[in-house]
Structure 1
């Protein structure tokens, strides 16, 4: 099939790193991260390309995508694995923490999808996989801000999927349950279900969606809700 080019946002740890690791042997991979040392370590480890990108900055998102296109010509797929945890009662959350979660989970998601789809439409094909959260399936105490910000991303993806009017550009979302990742360490063990999936298992599903061909079945808007190791 030939090598393709994929952008993995949040590709320096957790699920994003697992996705990049699965893709890198056969494809060109560019990981986006907001910590220079982590981007450098990941690119050295995987032998892939990387870009320093704070997704809450539209200019950085725009420039990072432009750099990928300039280097590789096309972008065959983008997965947005970047996310910020904001757990706790609303009254207990620092205002700065709330603002930052919205910047990353809401504005960052918007900027990433805007730029990704701009390039995919120009070239006429490509896949986008947004990583949501199983927490959207039902309200859960202690995560009102996190759930609200991830709900925004899910709603945005649904609308954008319908707006493509073409199977050649697929906009999809996957909602994993809690996983033992760096984000989960910040969440706390009380939110880790007794049955859960490892990032490597969920990454396999992300890669499956990223590798869909333009003429494959129409799945734009597909939502994989339970990706947490349960039947």
Structure 2
């Protein structure tokens, strides 16, 4: 894990947010909305992409493979050490694995499980560890409409994203406090890099822009500890397709 720092913030009203998968697509859109008034650390697995985003946004960043628990732990520890707290975490990292199961290579299947299952678990584990120490904080997991509606050709992708939804729903129930909120956003199709990789047979005519969905993610991240109880709630954005 390699960190890039930015300590320009001195506004005591600013909060600290970690955007995992924040170098492209929805994650980048979330980071862009937050940097105007808050401290942001973007996490990605490509050093050149992390460098480009941190330079562009003027925020902190960390190069981290989320399938490595040690790298995730170190990334969160460095953000907490630098800023003293982590007010919110957007878990946006995702690995596409589309196609018939018979056609998917074992390597592709394993990587999807590594990122979408292990990575999600490790990120939320460390987010909650920090928030329980603070006694407050918001976690927003980015799922997929595929979880709510089966679709041919995506059995592995849907299964791994379903794991994340099940994990978040269960964790939300055990917080026993509105001070720590664990929430889900299930976006419909968006014109992101992941959507570009899915292949023509999975492309959609109706989609939402990442910036539109990002506004909803940021709204949830900015909820105060005494705001209405929403932990475990899903925000579904079918965007007219279903």
Fold shared by both chains (TM-score > 0.5):
yes
CA pair 194-101 structure 1, distance change in 2 beyond 3 A: same
Work out the number of aligned pairs and report it.
231
Q: State the distance in 2 between where 1:219 and 1:5 align.
A: 20
- 1:202 matched to 2:222? The reply is no
Offset at residue 172 of structure 1 (A): 0.1
- 2:113 is aligned to 102
Residue equivalent to 2:191? 180
1:216 partnered with 2:216? no
CA distance in 2, matches of 1:230, 1:142: 17
CA distance in 1, matches of 2:167, 2:28: 24
Deviation at 1:196, TM superposition (A): 1.1
1:229, distance to aligned residue in structure 2 (A): 6.4
Contact 1:197 1:229 in 2 (8 A): no
Tell me if 1:83 matches 2:97: no
**Distance between the aligned counterparts of 1:190 and 1:225, measured in 2?**
23
- Is 1:158 the equivalent of 2:169? yes
State whether residues 189 and 206 of structure 2, in contact with CA within 8 Å, keep that contact through their aligned partners in structure 1: no
- How far, CA to CA, are the matches of 2:117 and 2:198 in structure 1? 19
Indicate the RMSD between aligned Cα atoms, in angstroms. 1.3
Q: Are positions 1:65 and 2:76 aligned together?
A: yes
SS at match of 2:79: helix
Partner of 2:27: 16
Calculate the TM-score normalised by the size of structure 2. 0.93
- The 3-state SS of whatever aligns with 1:78 is strand
Structure 1 unaligned residues grouped into runs of 5+: none
**What is the rounded CA distance, in whole Å, between the counterparts of 2:26 and 2:114 in structure 1?**
21
Distance 2:229 2:117 in 1: 27
Question: What is residue 111 of structure 1 aligned with on the other side?
Answer: 122
Rounded to whole Å, the distance in 1 between the matches of 2:176 and 2:72 is 25
Do 1:76 and 1:125's aligned partners in 2 also have CA atoms closer than 8 Å? yes
**Is the partner of 2:121 in helix, strand or coil?**
helix
Q: Are 1:47 and 2:28 counterparts?
A: no
Consecutive aligned runs of 4 or more in structure 1 exceeding 6 Å deviation: none
- C-alpha separation between the residues in 1 aligned to 2:49 and 2:95? 16
Between the aligned partners of 1:24 and 1:228, the Cα distance in structure 2 is 27
TM normalised by structure 1 equals 0.97
SS in 2 for 1:196: coil
CA distance in 2, matches of 1:146, 1:128: 22
Aligned-partner Cα distance in 2 for 1:29–1:149: 27
Contact 2:99 2:153 (C-alpha < 8 Å) held by counterparts: yes
